[in-house]
A = this chain, B = another copy of it.
């Protein structure tokens, strides 16, 4: 449905959004042993209520050796750059998002993809 891949698995697309604030971590780690989950992160946007300071959005995941690794998704300042496109930054669980600097709120959004075997299916109207 979303052209993500052309393996026999068919991904389904759902909306994903979260809000980051100083001292609050957001975890993406679906409790699901059967299906593969993925986030395609699209946008990071400051909130009108956030202070005019540089907000550094950090993601924590796993590198190729299974070790924890941190990376920076965006640095935004309301008066300079209030939004930035991530262009489909793909992360796989377990993933943690947080503000490394800045007090927020900062909005993170994208698509939550769930890969299903060709013979599995949701009730799409659900």
Given A43-B84, A73-B109, 19 additional A-B pairs, CB 8 A: A1-B92, A2-B90, A5-B6, A6-B6, A14-B63, A15-B59, A15-B60, A15-B61, A15-B63, A15-B69, A43-B73, A45-B56, A45-B73, A48-B54, A56-B107, A71-B109, A77-B82, A79-B80, A84-B85
The verdict on A110 contacting chain B, using a C-beta distance below 8 Å, is yes
The verdict on A62 contacting chain B, using a C-beta distance below 8 Å, is yes
When all copies of this chain in the complex are counted, the total is 5
B30 and A72 form a contact (CB under 8 A): no
A83 and B82 form a contact (CB under 8 A): no
Complex contacts, A2 vs chain B, CB 8 Å: 4-5, 38, 90
A72 and B92 form a contact (CB under 8 A): no
A12 → chain B closest CB, angstroms: 8
Complex contacts, A7 vs chain B, CB 8 Å: 1, 6, 10
